[in-house]
Structures are given as C-alpha cells and as structure tokens.
Amino acid sequence: MAEEVILKVEKLNKAFGGLKATNNISYKMTTGEISAIIGPNGAGKSTFFNLLTGYHSVDSGNIFFKGINITNWPPYRITRLGIARAFQVSNIYPRLTTYENVRQAILSQQKKTLDFFTPAHRLAKKETQELLEITGLSQQSDITAGNLSQGDKKRLELAIALGSKPDLVFLDEPTAGMSGEETHETMELVKRLNEEIGLTILFTEHDMSVVFGYARRLTVLHQGTVIAEGTPEEVRTNEEAQRVYLGEET
C-alpha cells in the first residue's frame, strides 16, 4: 500500500492560562499505522487528543485529516469524518445496557438517530452483536453499563469508539485499570483491527511493555513538546527520552 498521509498536524499550540499544554507540535500519520505517544503525566498527551478531536479549541496551528482542514471543527463533525476516540477514564452511558451503549454508536454512524418512529430494538441488531462479540462483551450485553467491572467498562469504551466505524482511532490508555490478562486480550484485539481492517491507531499508554510490544512508532512528549520520535528501538536508545521518562521505569 502506498504511504498515504491520513493525519497531518502542523505547529499545534494550546495554552491554559500560562501553561503551554502543547508547544508547536507537528505530527504525521500514514494510513494503517499503529503508533503510540508516551510521556510523563501532564506531558500533554490527553490535551493533544482533545485538540485533534475538537474537544478543546486550538490556539494556533492546523490539523488535516484525509487532506481536509478540520482545525476547530466541533467533535461531532470530526467523528462523522472518521476519527473516533476511546477515553482514558471510561466514558460510557451508565444507565443504558451494554448492548444499548454499542447500538447507540452504531445508530449514530448509520445516521439513523433522527428516526422517530422505528423501534430502536429492531435496528442495527447484527452490527451490534458483531461488535460485542469482537470486543468480548457478548456475555454482558444485558447488563446496565454502570454496573460493569472496570475492565469491561474499558472494553465497552473501545467498542463505542469502534461503533463509529472510524478510519483513525485514538486510544487514551486503553488498558488502564485492566488485569494483565485483559490488557493482553485488548491489545491483541487492537493489533488485529490494525492488521485485518487496516484501522489507523494512535494510543497512549503508561505500561512500557504494551508500548514497546505493539507500537511501530513512538513519539515522546515532555511539557507539551516532542522530544523524540522514531521506532521503539530508536526511542529506547534516545538519551533525552531516557532522561525524562524511560529512566524512571528502571
């Protein structure tokens, strides 16, 4: 497949009061890539995601997705264009069932949410079942989502993101709060999605074994600035990256 740029970020700046949360970040992703952004707490990872998905407004800089300038678009339009995200703290519909949570994302993707008269339970059955199957939530489908375990909530978070049928997905610490086994399962799923349907994935993670095991390219953020970028091997041996972040691990 030709190297096709799906996401291009140019000199992105955002300050909260006097704090520069992102400082001139430029970034690029090609279709089908699976990459990670790492950095200590407060490095600007979540802010970066928030800027890319329209949650925060951008101070200066540009974001291009599939060649379209999406800077400062509202989140719902960015989502409709093909970017989805899974949040760090699971961000689900606590009073709907697991099934209804996933169906909601699918109905929205199918542009059926302005339908007033077809009972929702008749729609998107197959797609919802499939997605629950893939994410390993079939057993939990009738459980009210607020009552799910932490790990299952994170899985549901991922399922909702996938329900939008994105081309590019941001996963903010997708395995936070999961057991070792759940972490492995989730990341294998992420890897499969990347390999089988060519989903472009950008994730953040604190667990270094996950980062080095699954990302093909790493970017290290520190105080809102990119301080290192490259393959896992290159970053591992990068002195500055070691000093600010990786060094803490050992």
Partner 1 sequence: MRRYGWFLGLIFILALILPQVLGEFWVHVAVEILILGIFAVSFNMIFGYMGQLSFGHAAYYGVGAYITGMLMVKASVPLPICLALSMIGAGICALIIGYFCVRLTGIYFAILTMAFGQLIYYIIFKWYSFTRGDDGLQGIIAPPLLFSANAYYYFTLLIAAAALIVMWFISESPFGYTMRAIRDNADRTRFIGINVRKYMLINFVVAGMFAGLAGALWGPFNRSIAPDLCNWHQSGTPVFMTVIGGPFGFLGPMIGSVIYTFLMAFVTGFTEYWPLTIGLVIIFVVLFLPGGVLGFFESRMKGFRSNASKPEETIP
Give me the residues that bind partner 1 (CB under 8 A), please.
Answer: 53, 55, 74-77, 79-80, 84-85, 87, 91-97, 100, 103-105, 107-109, 112-121, 123, 142-144, 160, 163-164
User: CB-wise, 97 or 238, nearer to partner 1?
Assistant: 97
For the bound state, the minimum distance from the C-beta of residue 103 to partner 1, rounded and expressed in Å, comes to 8
At 70, list the tokens.
Answer: 């999406």
For the bound state, the minimum distance from the C-beta of residue 172 to partner 1, rounded and expressed in Å, comes to 12
Tell me whether strands 34-38 and 83-86 are parallel, antiparallel or unpaired.
unpaired
3-state class (DSSP) for residue 31: coil
Nearest to 92 by CA among 83, 105, 81: 105
User: CB-wise, 11 or 80, nearer to partner 1?
Assistant: 80
For the bound state, the minimum distance from the C-beta of residue 38 to partner 1, rounded and expressed in Å, comes to 23
Neighbouring residues of 97: CB distance < 8 A, sequence distance ≥ 6: 141, 142, 143, 144, 145
User: CB-wise, 120 or 197, nearer to partner 1?
Assistant: 120
Neighbouring residues of 37: CB distance < 8 A, sequence distance ≥ 6: 45, 48, 202, 203, 204, 218, 219, 220, 221
User: CB-wise, 177 or 232, nearer to partner 1?
Assistant: 177
Residue 228: phi and psi, rounded to 5, are -160, 150
Neighbouring residues of 77: CB distance < 8 A, sequence distance ≥ 6: 54, 70
Neighbouring residues of 229: CB distance < 8 A, sequence distance ≥ 6: 217, 218, 219, 220, 235
For the bound state, the minimum distance from the C-beta of residue 246 to partner 1, rounded and expressed in Å, comes to 31
For the bound state, the minimum distance from the C-beta of residue 12 to partner 1, rounded and expressed in Å, comes to 19
For the bound state, the minimum distance from the C-beta of residue 36 to partner 1, rounded and expressed in Å, comes to 21
Cα separation of the two ends of the chain: 39
3-state class (DSSP) for residue 236: helix
User: CB-wise, 140 or 219, nearer to partner 1?
Assistant: 140
Place of tokens 């961000």: 91
User: CB-wise, 46 or 238, nearer to partner 1?
Assistant: 46
Give the span between the Cα atoms of 176 and 179, in whole angstroms: 9
For the bound state, the minimum distance from the C-beta of residue 52 to partner 1, rounded and expressed in Å, comes to 12
Nearest to 160 by CA among 131, 187, 139: 131
User: CB-wise, 108 or 149, nearer to partner 1?
Assistant: 108
- The type of residue at 35 is S
